[in-house]
Amino acid sequence: HMPATSSTQPARKKLKKGKPKIAASASGASSGAPSSAAAAQRAAAPPFASLEPALSASTLEAVASLGFERATPVQAAAIPRLLRHQDVAVQACTGSGKTLAFLLPLYELLARRETPLTPKQVGALVIEPTRELAAQVHAVALRFAERRAASAAAVGAAAIAAILPPVLVVGGTDLAESIASLGAAGAHVLIGTPGRLEDVLGRTERSLSLRELELLVLDEADRLLDMGFEAKLNAILSRLPKQRRTGLFSATQTDELLQLARAGLRNPVKVTVKVEAAAVPTAAAAAAASSAASTSASAAATSAAARSSSAPPPEFTLTPSSLRSYVLVVGEAERLPQLVAFLQGRLREGDKVMVYFLTCACVAFYSATLPQLPALRGASFAALHGKMSPKQRRRAFDTFAQQQQGAVLLCTDVAARGLDLPDVDWVVQFDAPQDPNAYVHRVGRTARMGRSGAALLLLRPEEEAYVHFLAVRKAPVEPREPEPSAPPVAEALTRLAVADRAVMERGAAAYVSFLKAYQEHVCRYVFVFDKLDLGALASAMGLLRLPRVRELGKKRKRGKGSWVEFTPAAQVDLEAVRYKDKQRERLRQQAKAARAAEEAAGGGAQEAARGKGGGKGGGK
C-alpha cells in the first residue's frame, strides 16, 4: 500500500527538509472497495470542521450530505489558502478530490462578501477543457449549491441563500438562447469550456459584469494548454480584474503550465500532493501509514508513524496509492486475443473496464467487432471518442456510468481527464498514449478517492523500455502473466469484414490512423515506427488487404528487409463485399452504376472524337 502525502510551498522555491506533516486523506463513495491503507488514511484525515479559516455551518452540512466528512490532502492544503486570498497552483494525482478543493472555497468566498453580488455580477469562473468535464463539475456544483442554500435558508443566512445556481456554458447548445438567458437571469458562477466562455463573455459584457469576480479556476490546466486553448485563455484573462484569486489545478506540470501560472497568478503557493510508496511493505506498516500534508508555514515535528525508523526514505509515485498497475508484454499476434481473454474474465467477475485505444478510428473499429466475437457476445459495450457528436458522447457516458457491473467502455484520451465514472474496476491501455503525461490521467479513472482499482498496459516486446520510462516518471508497473487460454481472434475479424463492408472499411481506417498516430509518439526512442511489424498488425486486425498509405511505400523502398509481409486470411473480391445495412448497400450500388454510366459516356465521347479527327485527316 502507498500512503499519500501532500506538500505545499511557494512557487519556484525548493521545499525545505524537516517540515511538519499534517495527517490528511480522502473519503467518499467511488469505485471499488477501500484499501487498508486508504482506511488508515481516512482515519487520520482532518475533518472539514477543523480547517482554518473555519467553513460555515451551511458548507459543512452540505458537504456532509454529499457523503464527505474529512478532507483529502489536496483539499486540506488548497481550501485554507484560497480562503486566505492566496493564489494556488495545485498538482495532484487524479481522483484526489480536486473538484471540492475549489468548489468549497468558491462558495465560501461569495458568501463572505461584505456586499452581496447582484444577479448581473459574476463572482466565479471555472474553466474546464471538455464539455463532459464541465458538465460533470457543474452537476457537482449544482448539488452542493442546492444543499448549501437549503441549509442556509433554514437558519436564515440570506447571503448564502441568495447565491444564484451555477450556469453551464459549453458548445453544442444554442448560443443565442444562452446569451438571452444570462442577460435576463444573470449568473454568479459560470462553469464552461474556453471557446464558448470567451464567446459568451464577449457578447454579454453589457449585461454581465466581471468587475466583482472573486475566483478564477483553471481545472485540468495542462490539458487546457495541450488542446490549444492558450489564446482563448489569454483573451478571457484580459477581461478579468487583477484583484482576484486564481486556482490552477492539474495532475502534471509542464513548462507551458508554469508560464501560464506566472501570467495569471499573483505570488502563488504551489501545492503538490504526492503518493508515498511504503518503504516497509508489511501489514503493520500499512496500518500505520497515514496521509500527510507538509507546509512551509508550519513548525511542528514530523510524525514517523507511516514508516519504520530504520527504513530508507520512501519514493513518491504519481498514481493513487490504492492502484495496482500491471504490464503485459506480448507479440503483435497475441495482443488482441489477450485483450479478449482478459475482458472475458473480468466481465465474468462483473467488473467495469475502460479500454484505451490510440485513435478514434480504432475505437470505431473495435466497438463494431469486439461485441460480435463469441467470447464477448452479449456483454455491455459503449464507445467514446472525440469525433462523436456531443449527444452521442453523452449517451455513451451515461450508458457506461449507469451499468452497475459487467460493462466495457472503449475510448480515446477524450475520456482520460477528470471524468468521474463510478465503480471502474480496471483501466486497460491497449495502446500506450502518445503523450506520456496522459498515462497518469488514464489510470486515474479507477482507484479514485481512496478506493481500490487496477490498471493493465499492453506492450509489444520492442516497446518494453517503456516500463523503465514509467518507473523513472514515478508510475511503476509490475509484470503480469498472459491469459492461459486466449481465443483466436484474427480469423473471426476477417469473417466479420467479409460479411459487412462497413467492418472492412472501419478496419482499414483504423489501421491507417494507427500508423499515423504511432509516428507521433513523444517517446520515439521507445515507440520506433521502423520496428513495428506492419504485416503482423494487418493480420491481427483481420484486414482483407493492405491499405494504400505512404508509410507502407516507405517501408518497401528501404530494402528487402523492410518489405511488409502480409497474406490475408481470406481471398475475396473486395468489390463484391456488401454492406449489411441495406440502405447503404443500395446507395453504393446506385453510385457504382452512376460511375459506370459516366465512364461509358466518357469513353464513347472520346471514341467519337478520335473518329472525327481521323475523318478530317483522311480528307486532307
Cis peptide bond upstream of 53, omega within 30: yes
pLDDT at residue 468, as a whole number: 94
What does the mean pLDDT of the chain come to?
82
Q: Who contacts 258 (Cβ-Cβ below 8 Å, separation ≥6)?
A: none
Residue 138 burial (CB count, 10 A): 22
- What residue has cell string 507546509? 295
The 8-class DSSP code of residue 372 comes to G
Confidence of residue 284 (pLDDT cuts 50, 70, 90): very low
Query: Distance between CA atoms of 420 and 401, rounded to whole angstroms?
Result: 9
In a domain, residue 582? The reply is: no
Q: Comparing 30-34, 161-165, 308-312, 398-402, which segment has the lowest mean pLDDT? A: 308-312
The strand pair at 407-411 and 323-329 is best described as: unpaired
In a domain, residue 384? The reply is: yes
Confidence of residue 31 (pLDDT cuts 50, 70, 90): very low
Same domain for 400 and 260: no
Same domain for 521 and 403: yes
Residue 175 CA, distance from chain mean position: 26
Q: Please answer whether residues 500 and 507 qualify as being in contact, where contact means their C-beta atoms are separated by less than 8 angstroms.
A: no
Q: Is 64 exposed, middle or buried (0-12, 13-18, 19+ CB in 10 A)?
A: middle
Same domain for 280 and 152: yes
The 8-class DSSP code of residue 458 comes to E
- Which element (helix H / strand E) includes 10? strand 4-10
- Which element (helix H / strand E) includes 596? helix 582-619
Same domain for 32 and 116: yes
Last residue of a domain, one of 511, 538, 562: 562
Last residue of a domain, one of 542, 562, 582: 562
pLDDT at residue 161, as a whole number: 63
The 8-class DSSP code of residue 211 comes to T
Residue 474 burial (CB count, 10 A): 16
Confidence of residue 158 (pLDDT cuts 50, 70, 90): low
Same domain for 346 and 216: no
Q: Please answer whether residues 37 and 305 qualify as being in contact, where contact means their C-beta atoms are separated by less than 8 angstroms.
A: no
Last residue of a domain, one of 562, 577, 612: 562
Confidence of residue 27 (pLDDT cuts 50, 70, 90): very low
SS3 at position 426: strand
Q: Please answer whether residues 336 and 490 qualify as being in contact, where contact means their C-beta atoms are separated by less than 8 angstroms.
A: yes
User: In the chain, how many domains are there?
Assistant: 2
Degrees, nearest 5: CA angle 106-108-113: 105
Residue 325 β-bridge partners = 455
Burial profile 27-52: b = 16 or more Cβ within 10 angstroms, e = fewer: bbebbbebbebbbbbbebbbebeebe
Q: Residue type for 54, please? A: A
Enumerate the H helices of 431-543 as residue ranges.
Answer: 437-443, 465-472, 490-499, 501-518, 534-540
List for the chain the helix, strand, coil content (%; round to 5).
45, 15, 40
Q: And the C-alpha cell for 197?
A: 466562455
- Largest Cα–Cα separation, the chain: 112
Q: Please answer whether residues 122 and 212 qualify as being in contact, where contact means their C-beta atoms are separated by less than 8 angstroms.
A: yes
Note the pTM of the prediction, 2 decimals: 0.67
Query: Distance between CA atoms of 140 and 138, rounded to whole angstroms?
Result: 5
In a domain, residue 18? The reply is: no
Q: And the C-alpha cell for 185?
A: 437571469
pLDDT digits (tens, 9 = 90+) for 255-266: 667 777 776 788
In a domain, residue 617? The reply is: no
φ, ψ (nearest 5 deg) of residue 602: -65, -40
Q: Please answer whether residues 359 and 507 qualify as being in contact, where contact means their C-beta atoms are separated by less than 8 angstroms.
A: no
- What residue has cell string 472492412? 504
Same domain for 418 and 363: yes
Query: Distance between CA atoms of 552 and 508, rounded to whole angstroms?
Result: 13
Residue 23 β-bridge partners = 292
The 8-class DSSP code of residue 530 comes to G
Region label for 530, one of left (φ > 0), alpha (ψ between -120 and 50) or beta (otherwise): alpha
- Which element (helix H / strand E) includes 222? helix 221-226
Q: Which of 248, 435, 322 is nearest to 40 (CA)?
A: 322
Calculated CA dihedral for residues 608, 614, 619, 620, nearest 10 degrees: 140
In a domain, residue 598? The reply is: no
pLDDT at residue 2, as a whole number: 38
In a domain, residue 154? The reply is: yes
In a domain, residue 129? The reply is: yes
Pairwise pLDDT comparison (226 vs 122), residue with the higher score? 122
pLDDT at residue 603, as a whole number: 67
Same domain for 373 and 263: no
Same domain for 192 and 50: yes
Check which CATH number belongs to the domain holding 200 and give it. Answer: 3.40.50.300
pLDDT digits (tens, 9 = 90+) for 350-375: 999 999 999 999 999 999 999 999 99
pLDDT digits (tens, 9 = 90+) for 370-389: 999 999 999 999 999 989 98
Confidence of residue 614 (pLDDT cuts 50, 70, 90): low
Pairwise pLDDT comparison (432 vs 568), residue with the higher score? 432
C-alpha dist (Å) from residue 291 to 5, 325, 393, 410, 545: 5, 20, 36, 34, 55
Q: Which of 399, 420, 395 is nearest to 408 (CA)?
A: 399
Same domain for 420 and 333: yes
Query: Distance between CA atoms of 205 and 121, rounded to whole angstroms?
Result: 11
In a domain, residue 571? The reply is: no
Query: Distance between CA atoms of 177 and 167, rounded to whole angstroms?
Result: 13
Domain that holds residue 532: 323-562
**Would you say the C-alpha torsion 530, 531, 535, 539 has a positive or negative sign?**
negative
φ, ψ (nearest 5 deg) of residue 191: -125, 120
The 8-class DSSP code of residue 294 comes to E
Same domain for 348 and 274: no
Residue 235 burial (CB count, 10 A): 17
Same domain for 213 and 81: yes
Same domain for 179 and 113: yes
Query: Distance between CA atoms of 72 and 6, rounded to whole angstroms?
Result: 9
